[in-house]
Amino acid sequence: MAVPLSEVVALLEGLYPPGTAQSWDRVGLVTGDPAQPVERILLAVDPTLAVIDEASTLGADLLLTHHPLLLRGIHSVATTFAKGASVTKLVVADIALYVAHTNADVAERGVSAALTSALGLAEVVPLAVEEGMPLGRVGLLPAPMTLRAFAEHLASVLPAAPGGIRVAGPAEALVRRVAVLGGAGDSLFDAVRASGADVYVTADLRHHPALEAREEARGGIPYLIDAGHWASESLWLHAVEHDLRDRLGDAVEIVHSAICTDPWSFVVRPG
């Protein structure tokens, strides 16, 4: 069985309307013919060369990723460049690429929502609103727990990544109100403070913004957890799979990428 790519695109645009993406973003269909049949979909966070090879090996007709392949302007698609090689591999293998990025971040069942669900948060509200769309979420744990226990709980629901989870704050401090933002989130520290969150779960926390945030907190809340970009956004793929299966039934096979696209390979700790 198979369905036209145009039908899958229509479903995805219903789940993640392109108009809800941030103005700087590039989402939607990148390669592919809307009339081509889709029998197998590969889900991944990043459209790396290795993931595209994986899609080709699996015989996938559609690669659905969170991060864009062509976010910034390029002037060549020659295979001497990684972007050109990626586009060429997709076209030669007849693989469509579809991207749902910031429109998936803000969706009701999007990236941040997947994090809140995995953590069991209740009374969830948006963390901030940008360009009219809700960014991140804030909610309550069922009961207070120590920061260390919470970080261990987070580690248990996220896929393992080489960089692990970094925590800023006293291990025995109690936390209950949790702010989350999948992916890079050190631009929202003001919103986190305003939310009254005890701990903020995000990724890509740079030295100076994170240090300044801890200085402003004077050792108190909000504590910080850097869960890694790839890991913090991977949970969304399960929601995508569920929603596509609910609408497409058995007409299409859906597969999760087996490749960790975190750019780091391993960590060496001094001593």
CB 257 within 8 A of CB 42: yes
The three-state (H, E, C) secondary structure of 74-118, written as one string: CCCCCCCCHHHHHHHHHHHCCCEEEECCHHHHCCCCCHHHHHHHH
- Would 3-101+233-256 and 106-227 be classified into the same CATH topology? yes
Q: Does CATH place domain 3-101+233-256 in 3.30.70.2470? A: no
- Distances in Å between the Cα of 92 and the Cα atoms of 53, 55, 116, 118 are 11, 12, 39, 38
Walk along the chain (271 residues) and give the pLDDT tens digit of each residue: 799 999 999 999 999 999 999 999 999 999 999 999 999 999 999 999 999 999 999 999 999 999 999 998 888 999 999 999 999 999 999 999 999 999 999 999 999 999 999 999 999 999 999 999 999 999 999 999 999 999 999 999 999 999 999 999 999 999 999 999 999 999 999 999 999 999 999 999 999 999 999 999 999 999 999 999 999 999 999 999 999 999 999 999 999 999 999 999 999 988 8
The two tokens of residue 146 are 């120590």
CB 34 within 8 A of CB 9: yes
Residue 10 contacts by C-beta under 8 Å, 6 or more apart in sequence? none
CB 237 within 8 A of CB 256: yes
- Smallest CA-to-CA distance from 16 within 146, 137, 142, 107 is with 107
pTM here? 0.95
Q: Where are the domains of the chain?
A: 3-101+233-256, 106-227
DSSP H helical ranges for the chain: 5-15, 49-58, 82-92, 102-105, 111-119, 147-157, 189-195, 207-217, 229-234, 236-248
User: Which CATH superfamily is 106-227 part of?
Assistant: NIF3 (NGG1p interacting factor 3)-like (3.40.1390.30)
CB 160 within 8 A of CB 183: no
